[in-house]
Every structure is written in C-alpha cells, then in structure tokens.
Amino acid sequence: MTIPETSGVRTRDLDHTYAPPPASISGQSVVTVYTAITAVVLALLMLFGLAMRASQAGVITLPPDRFYQLLTAHGIGMVAISGLGGAAVMWFFLARYVALSRAILIANLACFLAGVVLVLGAIFIGGFAAGWTFLFPLPAHSLGAWGTSATSAYLAGVLLVGVGFLLLYLDTGRAIIRRYGSLGKALGWPQAFGRSSAEPPPPAVVASTVATIINIPAIAIGAVILTISLINALAPEFRVNALLAKNLTYFFGHVFVNSTIYMSVIGVYEILPTFTGRPWKATRPFLIAWTATMLMVLAVYPHHLFMDYANPRWASVLGQIVSYTSGLPVLGVTAVATLANVYRSGMKWSVTSSLLFISIVGWSVGVIPAIADGTIAINRVMHNTLWVPGHFHMYLLLGVVAMQFGFMYFLTAAKGAADGVIDRAAVWAYLVAGLAFAIVFLAGGAMSVPRRWAVHEVQWMGLDLLGVAFALVTVAAVSVFVVSFLRRVRTIGA
C-alpha cells in the first residue's frame, strides 16, 4: 500500500515537521472551530466533575438538586462533545478520500449549538436533573423538582443535536457510496472475504464507514424515543412500555458513545505514520475486525439492562456473550498495529504522538473493567457502584479524549507550532493523574460505594479526597492543552 500524496505523510518523518493538510479540504476552518469548541467544553465539563467529587468528599457543599443538575450536564455534555470532537477527526481525514459537504458540516454545528442552548437552559434555568439517559417516564414525573417546560426543552435540545449528527452521517454515507460504489466495498469486503487483488480502502474510510452505518439507525431510534418522551411530557395520557423505552434509549446511547472512539481512532491511523514513516495498512485481519465490531456493537447494548429482570433472558445472554467480544477485534488489530508501527521506527516523541499512543493504552486498559461489568454475576453486585464510572472514565479520559487532544496538537503542529516544556509535562500529568482518577472510581466500586449519590458516608470520603486530588491535576493538564491549542490557533491561524 502506498501513502496517498494528499495524506501529508512523509517517509520516516523523524523530525516530525508536518506537511500541511491539502488545500482541497474546504472545511478545515470549520474543523478548527469544532475542535476549539470541543477543547473548551471538555475543560468546562471536567470542572463540573471536579465540583461533584469535591462535594462528595465534603470539601464543598452542593445542594442535592444542584448536584444532580451538574451530573446531568456532565453526562449528556461528555457524550455530545465526544461525538463532536470525533466527528471533527473523522471529517478532516475522510475528506482526503471522498467529497464531503462543508454545508452539512456547518449545519451539524448549528444544530449542535442550538440544542446545547436548550439543554443548558433546561438544566440550569428549568432545574431538569433526570440524568443524561432521560429514562422514560422520569423526565415527565419529577415530583415538582422541574416543570414540563424544562423537560420539553431538554428533550428537544437532545433531539436537535441528534438531527445534526444524523445529517452528518447521511452525508458521509452519500460521499462514501459515491466514491466506492457501495458501503460493502468501502468496508473492504471484496478484499476481506473475496479474492479481489484491488487496493483496499484506507483505514480512515473503513472506520468512517462503520461509524456511519451504526450511527444512522442508532440516532434514528434515539429520535423515536426522544419524540415519544416529548409527547408524553406534553400529553401524559400518551404512554409507551417503559421497558421498550429503556431498550431503545440504551441502544441509541451505547452505539453513539462507542462510535466516538471509532471516529477518533482515525486520527491514530492517519497521524501516527507521519512520525514513524510507516503506512497504516488495511490488511485482511484489519478489514474483518472492523466488520465484526460493526455487527457486534449493534447487539451488545442489553448488558446495560441486566438489572431489568423483565427483559427477555435471551437478550441478557446475548449481552453477556457479545460484551466479551464486541470491542476486541478492532482494539486487538489497532493495539498490535500501533506497537508494530512504533517499534524500532526511530521516531521522535511529541505531544501529538504521545497522546495518541496513550489513547491506545487507555482504550486497551479501559476495556477490562468494562468486560468484567458485562458479566451477569459481577454486574448484579457492581453495576450500581462506582465501578461503572471507573471504567467509562478510563475509556473516555485516556482513550477518546486523549485521541482528540492529540488531533488538536496535530492541527497546529501542521502549521509549524512547536511543543513546549509545559506541554510535555502536561502529557505526563494527564496520563498519571487520569489513570489514578479512574482507578479511584474502580476502588470505590470494589468497596460497593454506590454511584449517583450526592452525599457520601464518612467512610467513603478518603477515596473521594484522593479522587479530588487526581482530578485537580487532570484538570490542570487539560487546561494546558486547551490554552496551548487556542493560543496556537490564534497565532498561526490553523
């Protein structure tokens, strides 16, 4: 496989002086806006998380209603902003291979911002605090904690964000089909399962195709349950089976959250070779792994419903089995290929390459507690404890978010900006403190400390204080990343 000239990759680019992105990417400025918004919002949401941990530790006092408002904003915000940041990574690199619509990229951002205004107004003005999953029928039954207007604004806001993302994925699907003829060809099926000797599609195209295929039905189903919940809030006599509603909600949520790492990892496939001088090849195992993960991620969501004993037994069995296997194909080929790409490459480490490498390590480690929680016998004990935020903080913080910050540094390094000593120190602080922060959550889960409690018992506060300390360091490191990126963008006009 040869590296396309438009990819900006240089052979054995040991000095990591990046070639500029191709001028044909008309949406580059919009991508920069996406990443700037992602950076700022990530830092803000981490401050929300710090405030909640500090309240649990007794360092500050948040009233319970305010705690759950922050919890709702933190949860829905992290899901949405991880999607926005992942979309920026995917769009930037996919545009090197297919003709994407800049207008759709802008429309998605407009829907996103309008939806965020509605969601924030619902939470911090209307008092909505039902959690990011908006499980039916809780949004419409607040016992007076918030009103119908707050519920309607929240649900409409999330729906509007979803509409924007749906437009984006419909456009990526259109562009991929126009370039490759079919989604199957874009997944490399002729090369993976047939005898075709043609060059397979690049890894960025394969991953983008998977993200497109899984997100279109997921967001459509999410829109259905959001609309049903909105109608129920306005007309309580309109109802739906609560268990069905929960299945729809978690299908949407699980698929979308997983897609954030599938989009973000495209940055690893495209950027890491600029340091090692070794192309990332779409081998047969790579192509088969992505197809396998695509199918399994659509079937794994029942592991969120193990506690719902009314759910069909076959669904729980399927959820446990697929929990063991769904993430392993792509993670396996990506982790092995990352090590092979880096090993004895003679590359020089920078903030970009370090964050991308950390992200693969964080993804690999974060999947272990997730698989454990996907075991029914363990889930019965651990699911409603801090074990669960432990696994997804590791997955998001050291996986998805690390990929996205690595991409941010890449964008500005491509314009000639150099890493500083503080930037490099922030990488180490982020790795150590972020890992420790997640481990504290896992330790709390092992002690059966419940999750989602605004007030903690004195016996739990020792771990809470450790969590606050590590959160402070993590937020400080992220602040360095964000300020550095914004400064670079302003200075060089990335």
Q: Concatenated DSSP letters for 15-84?
A: T--PPPPPTT-TTHHHHHHHHHHHHHHHHHHHHHHHHHHHHHTTSS---HHHHHHHHHHHHHHHHHHHHH
**Average pLDDT, whole number, for the chain?**
90
Residue 385 DSSP symbol = B
Angle at the Cα of 448 from the Cα atoms of 446 and 450, rounded to 5 degrees: 125
Q: With contact defined as beta carbons under 8 Å apart, do 275 and 415 qualify?
A: no
Cα–Cα distance between 227 and 235 in angstroms, integer? Answer: 12
Q: Which has the closest alpha carbon to 446: 372, 392, 363?
A: 372
- % pLDDT > 90, the chain: 72
- % pLDDT > 70, the chain: 93
Indicate the pLDDT class of residue 288, thresholds 50, 70 and 90. very high
Angle at the Cα of 89 from the Cα atoms of 188 and 192, rounded to 5 degrees: 10
Q: Give bridge partners of residue 385 from the DSSP assignment.
A: 450
- What integer pLDDT is reported at residue 116 of this predicted model? 97
Q: Is residue 414's pLDDT more than 70?
A: no
- Given its phi and psi angles, is residue 312 left (phi above 0), alpha (psi -120 to 50 degrees) or beta? beta
Q: What is the CA radius of gyration of the chain?
A: 22
- What integer pLDDT is reported at residue 329 of this predicted model? 87
Q: With contact defined as beta carbons under 8 Å apart, do 121 and 155 qualify?
A: no
Indicate the pLDDT class of residue 380, thresholds 50, 70 and 90. confident
- What integer pLDDT is reported at residue 8 of this predicted model? 38
Residue, of 154 and 419, whose pLDDT is higher: 154
Cα–Cα distance between 443 and 467 in angstroms, integer? Answer: 10
Instruction: Return the structure tokens found at 89.
Output: 């990574």
Cα–Cα distance between 149 and 233 in angstroms, integer? Answer: 9
Least confident stretch, 33-42, 409-418, 475-484: 409-418
Residue, of 428 and 308, whose pLDDT is higher: 428
Q: Is residue 337 packed enough to be buried (19+ CB in 10 Å), middle (13-18) or exposed (0-12)? A: buried
Instruction: Report CA-CA distances (Å) from 414 to 164, 318, 463.
Output: 29, 45, 42
Q: List, for residues 443-474, the tens digit of each pLDDT value.
A: 999 999 999 999 999 999 999 999 999 999 99
Residue, of 169 and 13, whose pLDDT is higher: 169
Average pLDDT over residues 275-283: 91
- What integer pLDDT is reported at residue 96 of this predicted model? 93
Q: Is residue 37's pLDDT more than 50?
A: yes
Cα–Cα distance between 82 and 398 in angstroms, integer? Answer: 13
- What integer pLDDT is reported at residue 219 of this predicted model? 97
Amino acid at 334: T
Q: Is residue 63 packed enough to be buried (19+ CB in 10 Å), middle (13-18) or exposed (0-12)? A: exposed
Cα–Cα distance between 341 and 347 in angstroms, integer? Answer: 10
- What integer pLDDT is reported at residue 224 of this predicted model? 96
In the chain, what is the straight-line distance between the N-terminal and C-terminal CA atoms, in Å? 30
Residue 37 makes CB contacts below 8 A (sequence gap 6+) with 81, 84, 109
- What integer pLDDT is reported at residue 416 of this predicted model? 64
- What integer pLDDT is reported at residue 18 of this predicted model? 35
Q: Is residue 20's pLDDT more than 50?
A: no
Q: List, for residues 195-216, the tens digit of each pLDDT value.
A: 888 899 999 999 999 999 999 9
Least confident stretch, 3-7, 70-74, 230-234, 483-487: 3-7
Indicate the pLDDT class of residue 23, thresholds 50, 70 and 90. very low
- What integer pLDDT is reported at residue 494 of this predicted model? 53
Q: Which has the closest alpha carbon to 475: 33, 50, 86, 26?
A: 50
Indicate the pLDDT class of residue 493, thresholds 50, 70 and 90. low
Residue, of 430 and 416, whose pLDDT is higher: 430
Instruction: Return the structure tokens found at 125.
Output: 């003005």
Indicate the pLDDT class of residue 254, thresholds 50, 70 and 90. very high
